[in-house]
Amino acid sequence: MAERERFRIRDKTVKLRCTETEKLAIEKLASENNMSVNTYLCKMALEGFVIQVDFAELKNLIYEVNRIGNNVNQIAHRVNTNDAASRSDIKEVKRQVDLLWSLIRAELFKYRR
């Protein structure tokens, strides 16, 4: 059975006794992780931890790299029509963009399970 399918149908009940303070703390932690209390408690019971990753900065970086790539393409088009820059300059810009992408991929790889 696939991992997702295992959690899709939750038809059994497990009771948890806690104090009001503990209940509020659990609800707060579930909320901070954008989860229902049920999902949070199941994940904690089965896996022992919850990892919340904010990809906002990485998304911004990807957006900026894409913009750079578009600019490089425009420069390459102009160079090819006007022959205003050397091929080695174009290769260097491409190398730099490729390096940026490799850094982004390495950063994304850290978050893969």
Tokens 């399918």: give the residue. 5
Q: Across all residues in the chain, what is the average pLDDT? A: 80
pLDDT digits (tens, 9 = 90+) for 6-33: 556 878 888 989 999 999 999 999 999 8
pLDDT digits (tens, 9 = 90+) for 93-103: 788 888 888 87
| Domain definitions of the chain by residue range | 3-47, 56-109
Contacts of 62 (CB under 8 A, 6+ apart): 104
Contact predicate 20/30, CB 8 Å: no
Q: What is the dihedral of CA 101, 102, 108, 113, to 10 degrees?
A: 140
Q: State the pLDDT confidence band at 36, using cuts at 50, 70 and 90.
A: very high
Quote the tokens at residue 26. 């659990």
pLDDT digits (tens, 9 = 90+) for 45-82: 888 876 777 777 778 778 878 888 887 787 778 777 87
CA 20 vs CA 15, 23, 32, 78: distances in Å: 15, 5, 18, 68
Tokens 């999902």: give the residue. 39
Per the rule left: phi > 0, alpha: psi between -120 and 50, beta: everything else, 54 is: beta
Contacts of 53 (CB under 8 A, 6+ apart): 111
pLDDT at 5: 57
Percent of the chain exceeding pLDDT 90 equals: 18
pLDDT at 83: 67
- Region 87-113: what's the mean pLDDT? 76
